[in-house]
Structure 1
Amino acid sequence: MSLGRTDTSTIGRWWWTVDRWTIAAIFALIAIGVLLTMAASPAVADRIGTDSFHFIRRQFVFLVPAVLVMLGVSLLNPKQVRRLGVLGYCASVLLLVAVLLFAPEIKGSTRWLSLAGITIQPSEFAKPTFAIIAAWMFAEGRLNPGFPGRAIACFLYAMVAGLLLKQPDVGQTLVITAIFAVQFFLAGLPMLLVVVGGVLAVLGGVGAYFIFGHVQTRVDRFLDPSGDGAYQVTTALNAFKSGGLLGRGPGEGRIKLVLPDAHTDFILAVGGEEFGVALCLFVLLLFAFIVLRGFARLMKDENLFVVLASAGLLVQFGLQAIINMASTLRLMPTKGMTLPFISYGGSSMLALALGMGMVLALTRKRYGDEELEQ
């Protein structure tokens, strides 16, 4: 099928307006994720006494719908993205409430909900949908001085942050807070409030240390890497040392045999041992490319909602990658957060696909009558 520039079909217009370089970079991350999941997950499956290909099959079950979701959402116009974000946020909040009421406690927290035999983590979907609805409120408040957009955005943030802390999930709350802060700043937050917000963020971090036991434990382990609780990070660092520049070779890794969560939180360590630092640097460059290219395209857009929503989604995507990689390299306390499009995890994969589909939709070039759809 040939898609010429004169093709006025939906697919044709999409092909010539969407950022194909970003799509290529995302598919490169997905391919690396498939490769590393195949490398890391059989050892994990064997340790827990299940079929060696259990996690691989489940990852493919979610991977195909995720790709379809990303490409399907990228066909939308900004108004449709906004509607999808509002509906998604409302559904996410309801599911977060359901988690607190009905979900079982696992490792001291309630984060997963089983629906029709499928386990989902609602907090993953709350992040991209919150970025959309908060951007809408900030944009409306800026464009219509009589509209209480800031107040509504603050209320929406407080509601979702409160539900996340109730689980508790401090890491996801941190990401939501970063999205909110960046959007508030871009929407015209006064410098005095920026300083106040910085002080509150520091106080919030100190408070989390004393209020949540798991946060205190992880920070203490980070500050004392020689303690018994630093086994995972120490093992991950040994994987990087074992791999060197080019790695031991596909399937030759040994750390994955003993490293807990090798297919999720510490999958980069498996890649570092088998494929070397070269692969890790390539992954880092892909994440940087996607985020920086997204912001570069935003600089050309005059629609405030598009700018705020895309900025929030890109911050979420980049920050999640930074947290995962920094935790693996012992640059910050460990946090159970997936590496976007690489780590095993159905909810994470689908939610990230939704978010990046929104980014692709919002950053498309628009001409003529498409401007009226914003």
Structure 2
Amino acid sequence: MSVQVGEALILPRSDRSHITEWRRSVDWSILLAGCVLLGLGLVLSLAAGPPAAERMGQADEFHFVKRHAFFAAAAVIILFGASLLDRTWVRRLSALVFCGSFVLLAAILIVGHEAKGAQRWIELGGFTLQPSEFVKPALIILSGWLLAQRQLYPGGPWAVVALVFYVVTLGLLLLQPDVGQSALLTAAFIVTFFVSGLPWRWAAMFFGGGVGLSATLYALLPHVRFRVNSFINPSEYDTYQIDKASQAIGRGGIFGAGPGEGAVKTELPDAHTDFIYAVLSEEFGYVAALALIGLFVFICWRGFRGASRVRDPYPRAAAAGLFALFGLQAAINIGVNVNLLPPKGMTLPFISYGGSSMLGIALTLGLALALIRRQTSTTWRPDGRA
């Protein structure tokens, strides 16, 4: 039996059940911070959802609010469920998710749903699914495991195999095209590679390849060229969305205009998705905006610290890559909102509306928590099993 002392629940050492071990070993501060973000997303969906529903001709003004709540509830289940896994099952689940997402990425090119000039979604049972949101964490975990095999079997082509998986996945993303997700995946993959012991020749190869690919995309894709040029020379291009977002952030001041008093949610078509940070800043002010950034920084700091304490190479590298994936997506979204980065349609983790994004991020954070749990680092066998 457990013993109640004050308000704390003391678990007996004789209780070795999986749930009890999870409760002892999971990083509760990251888990709770993630739930706080989901709660804030629900609050902001009440502000930005009704105007979006009216703008899109939905009969129910709470259409997006209800869907956001549904996906948030599913995200909580995925977040907690994924964090329960041991590292062997993290790898197995990632392999299944990667295979399924990879097939869907290929299918999108043939039967995908097109929106805003890109073919990134596939329709399943009345919902649109974006496979790229799930292929990213799966690829990072598989890459971390493959790269860890170099220390066990130095003669194997592990780094080359990981690179092939990455390049093929990147190619499918660019064919959609989805440059933003490609850049995010690349950054997280490099972090995973670096933590695994990136040789200098690989670093030089990544740098040269990144420069060459960026120049090629700039030359071939008009929307990429427009976004870069409009960021460098805003006076010569239509920067309506960024201008409105910047004005909204400025109007918010220190404490904001007040809940429901913001204007940007009625002015921007993507206020409930890409520009939700501007909605938050306008209605709740700089204090709330900085507090939100603080939550993301806290999760990443705790995550990287937890990963650094893991002795085993596979979970250490994979967890670092997953937390980089989570943190960089938040940084990109906020950077666009405050006009520090070129425009890019990317959601703010757990805050923006978007089912695939919310579920994919929940999977990312849940698997990262599973990898840094204490029992995943206490024992390690050459076959990679806990």
Same fold? TM cut 0.5: yes
Structure 1: distance between partners of 2:374 and 2:205: 37
Q: In structure 2, what is the equivalent of residue 284 of structure 1?
A: 293
The alpha-carbon deviation at position 200 of structure 1 amounts to: 2.2
Q: In structure 1, what is the equivalent of residue 358 of structure 2?
A: 349
SS at match of 1:112: strand
Structure 2: distance between partners of 1:368 and 1:284: 30
CA displacement, residues 66-102 of structure 1 (integer Å, 9 cap, x when unaligned): 1111101111100010001111111110010111110
The alpha-carbon deviation at position 3 of structure 1 amounts to: 5.6
Structure 1: distance between partners of 2:113 and 2:127: 14
Q: In structure 2, what is the equivalent of residue 154 of structure 1?
A: 163
Q: In structure 1, what is the equivalent of residue 46 of structure 2?
A: 38
Aligned residue runs from structure 1 range 165-244, under 5 A: 165-244=174-253
Contact 1:5 1:16 in 2 (8 A): no
Kindly indicate whether residue 21 of structure 2 is the aligned counterpart of residue 4 of structure 1: no
Contact 2:82 2:367 in 1 (8 A): yes
Letter of the structure 2 residue corresponding to residue 262 of structure 1: A
CA displacement, residues 231-284 of structure 1 (integer Å, 9 cap, x when unaligned): 000000000111001001111111211122000000000000000011110111
**1:227–1:267: structure 2 CA closer, same or farther, 3 Å change rule?**
farther
CA displacement, residues 102-125 of structure 1 (integer Å, 9 cap, x when unaligned): 013222210010012221000111
SS at match of 1:249: coil
Structure 2: distance between partners of 1:176 and 1:368: 26
Contact 1:93 1:160 in 2 (8 A): yes
Structure 2: distance between partners of 1:19 and 1:135: 21
Contact 1:266 1:328 in 2 (8 A): yes
CA displacement, residues 130-189 of structure 1 (integer Å, 9 cap, x when unaligned): 111111111112321122111110110011000000101011111111122122222222
Letter of the structure 1 residue corresponding to residue 55 of structure 2: R
Structure 2: distance between partners of 1:295 and 1:104: 37
Contact 1:3 1:12 in 2 (8 A): no
Q: In structure 1, what is the equivalent of residue 33 of structure 2?
A: 25
Kindly indicate whether residue 287 of structure 2 is the aligned counterpart of residue 275 of structure 1: no
TM-score by length of 2: 0.93
Aligned length: 374
Structure 2: distance between partners of 1:324 and 1:29: 15
Structure 1 residue runs without a partner (length 5+): none
SS at match of 2:255: coil
TM-score by length of 1: 0.96
Q: Kindly report structure 1 stretches of 4+ aligned residues shifted beyond 4 Å.
A: 367-373
Equivalent pairs: percent with the same residue? 44
Q: In structure 1, what is the equivalent of residue 89 of structure 2?
A: 80
